[in-house]
């Protein structure tokens, strides 16, 4: 991991702080006492921060994220994996601008500019993985107080967002989110599955001046290529056969928000318009059977019942051995002490 820091104090126009971080990869293995649960592999994390009196830049990039089943013979070993050969799974570019208090911002000038790009990923949904996650968090003894603290932080963040809205904080968004394919097998060994392709989400923000409404922030949210199907998969999760269950036309949503609602009492502060021309759904007998198998088989699987016999778990053996040695040592010390009292 490489981190470079520069502090420049003499030149006011130059950045006062720069951070450049590059982490090639790291790996996390989540496990219970009985066996490993998930093998999490993260590659290519890069971060760049530049802070100047009038502008702050933040760039984040993630090359790849994979979550694997540690059992190499598992039918669906890739729980989360990137689809395609894109060099970047996630890229975030954030710019924050600082203006004098008396400055009147033109329409095309923003307080914050956010650009996000997310590549397509595949997610295999097996209920046994959900069961494993719940068991793992249960083993950590996450208390109610911890959950309440997280809820308090979320409420504080929401209050900050409301304050920014009251200050007419202008955020320009340009987000392209290639939503994942969710693969739901009938069970953890089956080649038959339901695939839900969430398509692509495009979110863009524009500003315009309306004589009746003053300054308006318009968010355009567009969903494209959403579909669901019943499929037959090969060992690499490539589709061999497909029956379409659901097809959707493009979903467009326009959200208009008044930046100065106090000046315009006759207009709503927020107005929403949704346009969705077509949703085509069909379900044949075989499709219904597949859905019922998912509910009866996939949703009834338990991670503890599927740990292979003799599955290696060496990382815990040394702990057990150390505990046994400590136990024997304490036992020997107690016997020696008793003998001393007898004498």
Name, in order, each residue with C-beta under 8 angstroms of 268's C-beta and a sequence gap of 6 or more.
258
Q: What is the dihedral of CA 269, 176, 159, 212, to 10 degrees?
A: -20
Q: What is the pLDDT of residues 48-73, one digit of tens each?
A: 999 988 899 999 999 999 999 998 88
Distance, CA of 341 to CA of 343 (rounded, Å)? 5
Task: Report pTM.
Answer: 0.76
DSSP letter assigned to residue 79: E
Task: Count H helices and E strands in the chain, helices first.
Answer: 4, 18
Quote the distance between the C-alpha of residue 266 and its chain's center.
40
Answer whether residue 37 shows pLDDT above 60. Answer: yes
Per-residue pLDDT, 170: 83
Burial class (CB in 10 A: 0-12, 13-18, 19+), 157: exposed
Mean pLDDT in residue range 2-22: 63
Q: What is the pLDDT of residues 300-336, one digit of tens each?
A: 988 766 565 555 554 445 455 556 667 677 777 766 6
State the pLDDT confidence band at 40, using cuts at 50, 70 and 90: very high
Query: How are beta strands 36-51 and 17-31 bridged, if at all?
Result: antiparallel
Of residues 137, 205, 213, the one with CA closest to residue 174: 205
Answer whether residue 21 shows pLDDT above 80. Answer: yes
Per-residue pLDDT, 153: 73
Mean pLDDT in residue range 266-270: 82
Mean pLDDT in residue range 8-30: 77
**Token match 């394919």: residue?**
181
Q: Of 170-184, 261-275, 325-339, give the lowest mean pLDDT range.
A: 325-339
Per-residue pLDDT, 329: 75
State the pLDDT confidence band at 258, using cuts at 50, 70 and 90: confident
Report residue 318: phi and psi, to 5°. Answer: -65, -30
Per-residue pLDDT, 1: 47
Query: How are beta strands 78-82 and 55-68 bridged, if at all?
Result: antiparallel
Distance, CA of 225 to CA of 234 (rounded, Å)? 24
Of residues 272, 243, 245, the one with CA closest to residue 256: 272
Q: Which two tokens stand for residue 66?
A: 């994979």
């Amino acid at each position: 991991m490489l981190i470079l820091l520069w502090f420049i104090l003499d030149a006011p126009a130059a950045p006062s702080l720069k951070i450049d971080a590059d982490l090639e990869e790291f790996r996390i293995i989540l496990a219970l006492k009985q066996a490993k649960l998930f093998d999490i592999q993260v590659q290519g994390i890069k971060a760049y921060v530049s802070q100047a009196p009038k502008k702050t830049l933040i760039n984040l990039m993630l090359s790849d994220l994979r979550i694997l089943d540690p059992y190499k013979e598992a039918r669906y070993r890739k729980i989360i994996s990137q689809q395609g050969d894109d060099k970047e799974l996630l890229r975030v570019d954030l710019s924050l601008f600082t203006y004098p208090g008396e400055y009147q911002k033109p329409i095309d000038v923003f307080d914050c500019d956010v650009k996000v790009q997310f590549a397509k990923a595949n997610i295999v949904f097996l209920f046994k993985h959900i069961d494993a996650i719940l068991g793992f968090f249960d083993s950590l003894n996450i208390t109610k107080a911890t959950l309440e603290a997280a809820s308090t932080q979320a409420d504080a963040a929401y209050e900050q967002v409301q304050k920014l809205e009251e200050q007419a904080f202008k955020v320009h968004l340009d987000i392209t989110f290639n939503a994942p394919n969710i693969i739901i097998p009938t069970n953890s060994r089956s080649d038959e599955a339901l695939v839900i392709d969430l398509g692509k989400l495009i979110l863009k923000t524009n500003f315009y001046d309306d004589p009746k409404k003053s300054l308006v922030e318009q968010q355009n949210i567009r969903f494209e290529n959403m579909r669901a199907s019943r499929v037959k998969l090969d060992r690499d999760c490539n589709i061999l056969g497909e029956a379409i269950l659901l097809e959707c036309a493009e979903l467009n949503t326009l959200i208009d928000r008044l930046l100065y609602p106090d000046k315009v009492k006759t207009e709503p502060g927020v107005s929403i318009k949704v346009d969705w021309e077509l949703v085509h759904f069909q379900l044949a007998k075989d499709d219904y059977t597949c859905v019922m198998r998912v509910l009866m088989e996939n949703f009834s699987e338990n991670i503890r019942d599927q740990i292979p016999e003799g599955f290696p778990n060496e990382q815990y053996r040394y702990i057990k051995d150390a505990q046994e040695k400590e136990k024997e040592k304490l036992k020997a010390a107690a016997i020696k002490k008793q003998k001393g009292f007898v004498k």
